[in-house]
Amino acid sequence: MAKKYVYLFKEGNANMRELLGGKGANLAEMTNLGMPVPQGFTVTTEACTQYYNDGKTINDEIVKQIYDALAITEEVAGKKFGDDENPFLVSVRSGARASMPGMMDTILNLGLTDKSVKGLAKKTNNEKFAYDAYRRFIAMFSDVVMEIPKSEFEAVLDEFKEKKGVKFDRDLDAEDLKGVVERFKAIYKAHKNVEFPQDPREQLMEAVKAVFRSWDNPRAIYYRRMNDIPGDWGTAVNVQSMVFGNMGETSGTGVAFTRNPSTGEKKLYGEYLLNAQGEDVVAGIRTPQPIATLQEAMPSVYQQFVDIATKLEAHYRDMQDMEYTIEEGKLYMLQTRNGKRTAAAALKIAVDLVDEGVLSEEEAVLKVEPKQLDSLLHPNFDADALKKAPVIAKGLPASPGAGAGAIYFTAEAAAEHGKNKEKVILVRKETTPEDIEGMDFSQAILTAFGGMTSHAAVVARGMGRAAVVGCGDLKFDEAANTVTIAGEVYHEGDMISVDGSTGNVYKGLVKTVDASISGDFARLMGWADAARRLRVRTNADTPRDAKKAVEFGAEGIGLCRTEHMFFEASRIAAVREMILADTKEQREKALAKILPMQQGDFEAMYKVLEGRPMTVRYLDPPLHEFVPHLDMTEEIEELAKNLGYTVEEVKQKINALHEANPMMGHRGCRLAVTYPEIAEMQTRAVLQAAINVKKECGYDIVPEIMIPLVGSKKELDFVKNTVDETAKKVFAEQGMTLNYHVGTMIEIPRAAVTADEIAQSAEFFSFGTNDLTQMTFGFSRDDAAKFLGSYYDNKIFESDPFARLDQDGVGKLVQMAAEKGRSTRPDIKLGICGEHGGDPSSIAFCHKVGLNYVSCSPFRVPIARLAAAWAAIEEKKAK
Amino acid sequence: MAKKYVYLFKEGNANMRELLGGKGANLAEMTNLGMPVPQGFTVTTEACTQYYNDGKTINDEIVKQIYDALAITEEVAGKKFGDDENPFLVSVRSGARASMPGMMDTILNLGLTDKSVKGLAKKTNNEKFAYDAYRRFIAMFSDVVMEIPKSEFEAVLDEFKEKKGVKFDRDLDAEDLKGVVERFKAIYKAHKNVEFPQDPREQLMEAVKAVFRSWDNPRAIYYRRMNDIPGDWGTAVNVQSMVFGNMGETSGTGVAFTRNPSTGEKKLYGEYLLNAQGEDVVAGIRTPQPIATLQEAMPSVYQQFVDIATKLEAHYRDMQDMEYTIEEGKLYMLQTRNGKRTAAAALKIAVDLVDEGVLSEEEAVLKVEPKQLDSLLHPNFDADALKKAPVIAKGLPASPGAGAGAIYFTAEAAAEHGKNKEKVILVRKETTPEDIEGMDFSQAILTAFGGMTSHAAVVARGMGRAAVVGCGDLKFDEAANTVTIAGEVYHEGDMISVDGSTGNVYKGLVKTVDASISGDFARLMGWADAARRLRVRTNADTPRDAKKAVEFGAEGIGLCRTEHMFFEASRIAAVREMILADTKEQREKALAKILPMQQGDFEAMYKVLEGRPMTVRYLDPPLHEFVPHLDMTEEIEELAKNLGYTVEEVKQKINALHEANPMMGHRGCRLAVTYPEIAEMQTRAVLQAAINVKKECGYDIVPEIMIPLVGSKKELDFVKNTVDETAKKVFAEQGMTLNYHVGTMIEIPRAAVTADEIAQSAEFFSFGTNDLTQMTFGFSRDDAAKFLGSYYDNKIFESDPFARLDQDGVGKLVQMAAEKGRSTRPDIKLGICGEHGGDPSSIAFCHKVGLNYVSCSPFRVPIARLAAAWAAIEEKKAK
C-alpha cells in the first residue's frame, strides 16, 4: 500500500506533530475534542521531504491523495470547488513541527475564479464581499505563490481609491472591485505570460508547492540556524475550509491567550476585530477590541469561547494561543498552540500551574526554556522603544543584554568616562587582555572582528556585559579617530545602543529595562536543581566573578585561567621580565616576584568559594600575548630600561616569540615542559594559598590542578612530576599536607584518541571544547569568520560550532575520550569548560555522555542549571 | 619460582635476542655450536627494566642469580674471583637487542685487585703483564663505571714515560707499572673518597649497574631516536671469562667479516694484531695485519678460524662480523653478528646469497634496509674525506645526499651562478615557492628555520637535492650580507659542504661520490615488487619530477599539488589578479587566463604518465602565499599598476588576507566553497587535458580529483557538485565523456571521525598525514621546533611525528577513518600522500591497516617499494 501522505483533520491527533506539523496536529486534536473547527486536511511533512527528493515536484501518488481528501472535504462542507452556486473555498497554511515565523504566509480564499466568484456573490447575496475576496486572493496568490511584487497590486488599489476620492479599501463598491480584479489579473498575465489560473485544483497544487518551497527560503534557513531546527524536518501544509469573519457586524476574527503572555497573569488575554479577515488585524488600519468586550457584543459566543479556551488549556496543560473566526454569529476555532511568552511569564505560569495542581514540578521545569533566562539576568531594551529604533549594523550576538551609551574607541577612554558615571560603549576592532578595565566600565562592547569565542565575547559573557562582535559593518578611520557605520561617521561621544541578544546595533539611545528576578525564579531553579544530575561550575578568574557565580548557584569553579591574573598593570612588568629572561636563573628571579601576587589571588578565590572546589588551569597562552607589539615604541623603551636590555635586544626577543600559527604553537603545557619553573611557581602559589586559607578559615580545600593542552600521557607525566615534586617541598616547608588532584584538559584531538593512556595519570578530564573544536575542524576561531558565511549560505553548516557543540564530530571525540578515560580510571571526574558549557543543547549532550559537571561563565550558570535539569527530565521521560 | 634474570651461555640460543640481547644470544648460539667461546653468563634485558622499575637499584633476587651464575662460571674455568694463585677475571659488556653504538664501552680484566694481581703474575709468570692488566682495568673502571676523566690517567702514564725517556706504554716495566697502579688508585680515591674497590664482586655489581645506566645516557637516547628503537627495551649485560691476546707473540686479537662489508665481495675480510688486547686495535698506535697473513703466522689457527667463519655464515645465512682472540695459540670466539654493510654491499650480498641457493628471494629482500637505498640514489661524501672534515653546524637531515659548493643567500644568485656550472649551495632563513629555480640549480639547500615538512624539506626531497633545515647555528647579518656559522663569518662565494643524510654542515669542499645503481638493484627491486601488496605512487607537480618517479618505479601520481604550478613568474600575475579580484566576474576573468596554462600542465603530466593514474589535488594553500609581502614595495607598485588599483588598495587587500593562524584558515576546500569558480576552472583544466591527451595518445585516462581539507560530507558534496556540473558542461562541449573519480584528503581530525559519512560521497581517501599530524597534535610544523627539543630531551617524544607517523595517536585516526570509510563504501581506494608515505615504519603501518597505496616524493619511491615488500613479507612470516 502506498504511504499515507494526506490526513483528514479527523484522522490525526496532537501526538502526530512530526508528521502533521504543529498546526495540523492541533487542528486534528480540536476536531476530535468536538470543537468547532472548519474541516480540511493536512499534507504531511513526509510529502515535503518527498517533494525535495523528487527534484521539487509533487509526485502522482501525493497528488491523488490530495484530490481524494479534497473530495471528502467538499462533501462534508456540501460545496464544490469552482462552483457557480455554492463554491468551496479554502485557506492554505504552512505548519512545521516547530513554529517557524520565517516561512510562507497564509493564502486565503483559494478556489475563487471568474466563475466561482459569481457563485460566492449569489450564495452570500453580497457581490461586493465576493469581489473583495477575489481581489484579495489574486493579490495574495500572486505575491506569495508566484512572487509578483505586492506593490504593483497596492498601486492599482491606490489608483482606484484616488480616482474615487476615498481613503479606505472598504469604501470601494462591487463595480470598483470588479475593475480592480481585471487589473490584478492583467498584472498576473504581464508577469507570468499566462492567464490567472481558473482551475481551483491548479491553484491548490501551486499553493502546496509554494509552501514546500518556502521551507527553503533564506529567512526560514536563517531562522532554523538561529533556533537549531534541522533542515530535513520539512513542513506540512494545511488545507482548510474558509470561514469568513468579514460578512458583517455579526462576523469577526481574533486571537487570544489563556493567560497574559507578558506577565503570566491568569486571565484571558486577546483581541478581535468585527467584520474583518485575518489580514486586516495584521494590517493595523483598524484598532482591535480587547476580548473582554466580546462579552457584551456577543455574550453566547464569548461564553462558548471562554469554555473552549478553558478546556484547551486543561487539555494541553499549558497556556494556549488561539485564533478564531466568527462567521455570522457562529464561532470557529482556526488554531491553538502553546503560547509564546516572555521569560517572566514563563516562570509565573510554570509556578502557577504547579500551585494549581496541573503540573508536577519537573513538568514545570520544562515549561521554561533555559535560553530564556538570559533576558531575566541582563538589562533589556524596552520593547516599544526598540520597534522605533533604527538598526545601523548587525554582528554576532556574543553576550546577551542591552547597552546604550556614548562610544569610545580605546579601553582607556571608556574607563575614564565610565568612572565619571557616563554610560559608555567600547567600540574596537577587537579586544585584548589589556582592555579588561575599559570593558568593565562599559555598558556594552562592540567589535569589528572575532567570533563567539573571541576575547571580547568570552570576557563580556564572564562580566555579564552585552557584546556584539564580528560586526563587519564597522569601518575604522584611525587617523580621524572615527568609525563609519552604515555610511554615517561616528565620533567618540556619539550615542549608540547595542543588543547583545540579537546582534543588532541601533543609532542613538534606546531605553533599557533593568534585569529583575522574581521569587518564582528561585522556586523553579530549586526544582531544576532537584532534577538535574550534572553539577554546574563556573569559569571565573577573579573573586568578583566567582562571587557572582556562587550567587547564581555555581557549585565551584571549573576553570580558573591563571594567566588572566597576569595582565594587571602592576604585574605585567614581572611577567615580561620572566618571558624575556635569557636563563633559568633570570626566569626564576622574575617568577619569585610573581609568586606572592598569584598566591594572593588564589587565597582570595578560595575565601570567596568557602570550600567549594576550584580547578586551576596552569599558564596556557603563547607568551607573545604578554609582550608589547613591535610598534609600541614607548613600551618597548621602558621595558628595555627596566630589564637592562637595549631596545634592539628587546625587539629581537619579541620577534623570536613570533609564531606562524600561535594557536598551535608554544603554549599550554608546552610552556611547562620547556620552563618547568613556571609550573613550580604555580604549584607553590596554589598549594600555599590553599594551606593558608585552610589554616585561617578552616575550609577543607582539595586543590585541583589542571594541565592544559596535553596530547600524550608522557607529556602530562612530565608536568605532573614537577607538580608532585614541588608539592613535597611545600608540604615539608609548611609542615602540613593537603590532598590535591592533578588532571588535564582534553582539547587536542590526540588527547581524546589516547585518553585511556592519559587517564592513567589524570585524576580528572576537563573538555576544552573551544580548542578541541578548532583542532578537530582545523579552523582557527579568529579566521573562520572569513568563510563561515559561505558555509551557512550553502547549508554546509547549520550552526556555529563554536557556540553549539558539533556533536557529530567534536562530540564523537568527547564521547570517545569519556569512554576511554573511564576504561582505565572508572572513577575519573569528567567536566567541560569550553564555551559550550553554557549552551543548552551542548549541556544535554554532556548529560547524555555522562559527564560529571559543566562549567560556564557566571551569567550562564542559571541557564546551565536549568538545561541540566531539562536533560535529566527528558531522559527520564524517554525511558 | 622467581623469574630467571641470568642465563649461562649454554642455557641460551640465537632466538633469545629480546631477552639476552644480540651479543648474548649469539655467544650462547656459538657455545651450543661447539665453538671455542670463553664461558660466562648474560644478565637479561628484563633485569635492566627491573633495575629502572626499582628506582635504579638491582634487587636481591637479581644479585643472587648473578652470584650463582658467577660461581658456576668460576667452577667451569677452574679459577676463583680475587684468588692470589689463579684469579678469575672477566670482561663486562653491554648488549641490547639491536646493536647500539651509543652505549657503554667494554670493561676488561675485571676481578683484578691488589691481591689477585699477584695471583695473575704468579700464574702467568709475567709480572709486567699482570700489572699492565691491572692499570688498564683501574683506568677503564674509573672512566666507564665511575665517570672519572680518562685524561687524568693518561697524564700519569705520560709522566712515567717521560721520566723514563720512552715513547710507548709497552716500554714501561713491571716496577714502573706498579708505580702507575698506585698513582691510578690515588686518582680514584681523590675523586670517590674511598679506596679502589678490592672486592671483585663489588666491582662486578658496579659494572653491571653502569651498563644499565648507560642505556639512558644522552648518546644512547639520541641513537635510539634516530633509529626508532623503543626506550623500554633495555640492555642485557654479558659477563665473560677473560682471555688474553696480549700474552706474547702467539697471542693476538682481531675482527673479521665473512664478506667484504664495503663491496659485498665473497672473501674473508678483516685484520688482527699480535700480542694485543682489543683496545690496542682501537687505539690505532700499531697497524693491524690483514687476516690473510694469519695463514702464514699461525696456519692451523687460521684454518680453524676459516672453518668457524664458514660455519657461522652458513648457520646464520648472512654475512658475519666476528671478534676473536688468540691466547697462546688457542683461538677464542668473542662475538659474531650479522655484519653492518654499505648499501652496495647489502645489495650484492643479498643477490649473491640467492644465487648461492642460501636465501629465497623474499629473504634476500629483507637483507637490504629500505632506508639504506638513499645512499645509492644520491651523491655521498667520500668516507675518508668526511672523517677529516670539520663539522661547523648541525641541522635536521631533511633530504638525503651530499652537496658541496659556494654559498649564496638568494635564490637568484644561486640560480645565476648555478647556470654558469658553478657548484652552489643555497643558504637561507627559509625557502618559499619563489625560490624553486634557485633550489634546482643548487647542490644542496641549507636553512636556518623549518622542520622535516617545511617547504625547503619537501621541495628538496622532491628534486632529490640534499637539504639540511632548521639549522639554528646560522646567524644572518642581512646588512653585511653574511652568515656567521660557529663564530666564523661566511660571505657569498665561500665554500661549505652539506650532508643531508646526517644534518652535518662542513667547512670547505668535501669530496663527493656520485650515486650509482648496479644491476643487483634492479633484481632485488623486482623481487620486492613481486612481494609487496601496497602500490607505490609519487608526489609530483612537474613532468620532470613525474618522469623521474616513473623511472624509479612509481605506479602513478598520488598527489599533484596544483598550486605549485601557480608560482612561475609567467603565471603569478594572473594568479594575483584572481586573488585580488573584488567580484566574481573579475575573478572569472583572471581564472580564464590561468585555465590554458593549468590545462597545459596537466596535458604534459598525462603524457609523461602514459596512462598511469594521477590524483590532482585542488587549490590548497591560503591565498596570501601568492601575493607579495607588504614590505615588497616594488612588487606592490607593479601589481597596482597592472591591476588598476592604487598602491593603498593593493596593500589593504593584502592586509585583508592576513590570518592569525593561516594553517587553520581560509584554505583547502574552503576556497572552493567561497569561490566555486576556482574549482570550476580546475575541473575544466583536468578534464580538458585528459580528453586532449586521450585523443592524441590513446591513453585510457580516468582523472582522479581530490578535494583537500574536507571536514564534513556536506562540504565535500558542495565542491563535488561544482565538479560534476562543470564536467557535464565540458563533456557536452567536447562531445565526449570520461570516467573520473572525486575523492578527498583525510587530513582534518573531523574527517577521520566522520569518515563513514564522507565515504558516501568520496570515491577515494588520501591521508594527508602532514596536516593530520598538525591538527591531531595541535602543533604547527613551523613552530614546533621551539619546543620539540625539550620533548626529546625529556623523553616525551622519541621521534619526530612529522617524519615518522605517530601510530598511537594520528595512526589511530587513520585506522578509524579507513575502517569507517570501508564500512559505507567497501571498495573505497585508500592511500597516503603525506611525507610519511616515504618513511619505512610508516609504510609498514599503512600496509597493516590495509591502505591500497602510498605516495611519496620521487627519490623515495624505491625506498617505499622496498619498505612495502618488507611489510608484506614480515606479515607473512608472522602468520
* pLDDT tens profile A751-787: 999 999 999 999 999 999 999 999 999 999 888 888 9
Query: Residue B281's pLDDT is what?
Result: 65
Residues of chain A neighbouring B795 (CB-CB closer than 8 A): 714
Cβ B659–A715 below 8 Å, yes or no? no
**This prediction's pTM:** 0.84
Residues 600-659, chain B, touching A (beta carbon < 8 A): 659
Q: Do B750 and A718 touch (CB under 8 A)?
A: no
User: Is residue A281 predicted with pLDDT exceeding 80?
Assistant: no
Across the beta sheet with A6-8, what order do the strands follow?
Answer: A6-8, A40-43, A235-241, A90-96, A107-110
- Taking the Cβ of residue A790 and every Cβ of chain B, the question of whether any pair is shorter than 8 Å is answered with yes
> Would you state the pLDDT for residue B283?
60
Condensed to tens digits (0 to 9), the pLDDT of residues A146-198 reads 989 989 999 999 999 999 999 888 889 999 999 999 999 999 999 999 999 99
Whether the CB-CB separation of B278 and B251 falls below 8 Å is answered with no
- More confident position, B534 or A642: B534
Asked if residue A278 has pLDDT above 80, the reply is no
Residue A827, pLDDT > 80, answer yes
Q: How far apart are CA B774 and CA A664, in angstroms?
A: 8
pLDDT (average), residues A466-475: 89
Residue type at A542 in one-letter notation? T
Q: How many CB atoms lie within 10 A of CB A526?
A: 14
Write down the mean pLDDT value for chain A: 92
| Angle, CA of A79, A80 and A81, to the nearest 5° | 130
DSSP-H helix ranges across B284-331: 294-297, 299-316
User: What is the chain A residue with the closest CA to B671?
Assistant: A787
Which of A667, A716, A771, A776 to substitute to test the interface with B, most B CBs within 10 Å? A776
- Beta-carbon separation of B796 and A714 below 8 A: yes
Instruction: Measure in Å the smallest separation between the Cα of A763 and chain B Cα atoms.
Output: 20
Question: What cell was used for A584?
Answer: 633559568
* pLDDT recorded at residue A683: 98
pLDDT of A656 over the 70 cut: yes
Instruction: Give me B326's grid cell.
Output: 688468540
Does B670 sit within 8 Å of A809, measured CB to CB? Answer: no
CA distance B657 to chain A (A): 9
Are A783 and B665 a contacting pair at CB < 8 A?
yes
A228: burial class by Cβ within 10 Å (0-12, 13-18, 19+)?
Answer: middle
Which residue, A583, A618, A606, is CA-closest to A707?
A618
Mutate which of A750, A774, A777 to test chain B, going by most B C-beta atoms within 10 A?
Answer: A750
Chain A residue at shortest CA distance from B450: A660
Count A/B contacts: CB-CB distance under 8 Å.
170
Chosen for mutation from B429, B707, B775, B798 (greatest number of chain A CBs closer than 10 Å) is B775
Contacting residues for B819 by C-beta, under 8 A, at least 6 apart: none
Pick the residue from chain A with its C-alpha nearest to B771: A778
Say yes or no for a CB contact (<8 Å) between B796 and A749: no
Nearest Cβ partner for A754 among B775, B783, B809: B809
What is the mean pLDDT for each group of 10 consecutive residues in chain B (879 residues)? 92 94 95 96 96 93 96 94 93 88 79 95 92 94 92 94 89 94 96 95 96 87 77 92 91 93 91 82 72 92 97 96 94 93 92 97 96 87 88 90 94 91 93 84 91 80 87 87 92 94 93 83 96 97 92 96 81 90 92 95 97 97 88 87 89 88 94 96 98 96 98 96 97 96 98 98 97 96 87 88 94 98 97 92 96 95 97 93
Mean pLDDT of A129-152: 93
Q: pLDDT value at position B464?
A: 82
pLDDT at A796 over 80: yes
B231 touches chain A (CB under 8 A): no
- B747 with A777: Cβ contact below 8 A: no
Give which of B711, B709, B809, B810 is closest to B751, Cα–Cα. Answer: B711
Q: Which member of B711, B757, B797 has the closest CB to residue A778?
A: B711
Label residue A332 exposed, middle or buried (CB < 10 Å: 0-12, 13-18, 19+): buried
Contact B812 A782 (CB under 8 A): no
Q: Answer whether A457's CB lies under 8 Å from A450's CB.
A: yes
Is B791 in Cβ contact with A673 (below 8 Å)? yes
Q: Closest to B783 (Cβ–Cβ): which among A664, A718, A809?
A: A664
Counting other chains too, the contacts that B548-553 makes at CB distance below 8 Å and 24 or more residues apart are B548/B464, B548/B858, B548/B859, B549/B858, B549/B861, B550/B608, B550/B609, B550/B610, B550/B612, B552/B377, B552/B858, B552/B859, B552/B861, B552/B862, B553/B525, B553/B529, B553/B861, B553/B862, B553/B865
Instruction: Choose from B753, B786, B799 for mutation: most chain A CBs within 10 A.
Output: B753
CB contact under 8 A, B787 and A711: no
Which residue in this structure is represented by grid cell 550576538? A397
Least confident of A191-195, A622-626, A861-865: A622-626
> 3-class DSSP state for residue A271?
strand
Q: Which amino acid is it at A664?
A: M
Compute the nearest-CA separation of B258 from chain A (Å). 44
Q: For cell 506539523, name the residue.
A: A21
B622: closest chain A residue by CA: A783
Q: A-contacting residues of B 727-786, CB under 8 Å? A: 747-750, 753-754, 757, 771, 774-780, 782-784, 786
> Residue B75: its pLDDT value, please?
95
Closest approach of A505 to chain B, Cα-based (Å): 24
Q: Is A805 on the interface with B (CB under 8 A)?
A: no
- For A532-632, where are the alpha helices, taking DSSP H only? 543-551, 569-579, 584-609
B797 in Cβ contact with B791 (< 8 Å)? yes
* β-pair partners for B23: none
**What pLDDT score does B223 carry?**
77
Determine whether the interchain pair B712/A666 forms a contact, defined as Cβ–Cβ distance below 8 Å. no
What residues of chain A lie within 8 A of the CB of B429, using their CB? none
Minimal C-alpha gap between A102 and chain B (Å):
24
**Do A794 and B673 make contact, defined as CB atoms within 8 angstroms?**
yes
A380 by Cβ neighbours in 10 Å (0-12 / 13-18 / 19+) ranks as buried
Alpha-helical runs (H) found in A492-564: 519-531, 543-551
Nearest residue on chain A to B775, judged by CA atoms?
A775
Contact A809 B782 (CB under 8 A): no
Q: Is B780 helix (H, G, I), strand (E, B) or coil?
A: coil
Q: Please answer yes or no on whether B790 and A749 come within 8 Å at the CB atom.
A: no
Query: Is B265 or A629 the better-scoring residue by pLDDT?
Result: B265
Supply the pLDDT for residue A282: 60
pLDDT digits (tens, 9 = 90+) for A409-447: 999 999 999 988 899 999 999 888 778 888 989 999 999
pLDDT, mean of residues A507-522: 87
pLDDT score for B677: 96
Interchain contact, B775 vs A779, CB within 8 Å? no
A721 Cβ under 8 Å from any chain B Cβ: no
* Measured distance CA(B180)–CA(B162) in Å, rounded: 13
Chain A neighbours among B 472-511 (CB < 8 Å)?
none
Chain segment A254-271, per-residue pLDDT in tens: 989 999 988 899 999 988
Alpha-carbon torsion, ordered B858, B863, B866, B869, to 10 deg: -80
Mutate one of B453, B661, B790 to test the A interface: name it (highest A CB count within 10 A): B661
What pLDDT sits at residue B484? 92
Residues of B (568-597) whose Cβ lies below 8 Å from A = none
Q: Name which of A120-134, A654-668, B444-458, B846-860 the model is least confident about.
A: B444-458
Catalytic residues of A: 455, 833
pLDDT value, residue B834? 86
- Give the cell for residue B686: 583536468
Q: Which residues of B are catalytic?
A: 455, 833
Contact by Cβ (8 Å): A448, A428: yes
Nearest residue to B242 via CA among B35, B24, B38, B25: B38
Q: Any chain B CB within 8 A of the CB of A815?
A: no
Report the residue of A796, A805, A819 to disrupt the B interface, i.e. the one with the largest count of B CBs within 10 Å: A796
Helical segments of B317-451, H only? 343-355, 361-365, 374-377, 383-388, 411-419, 436-440
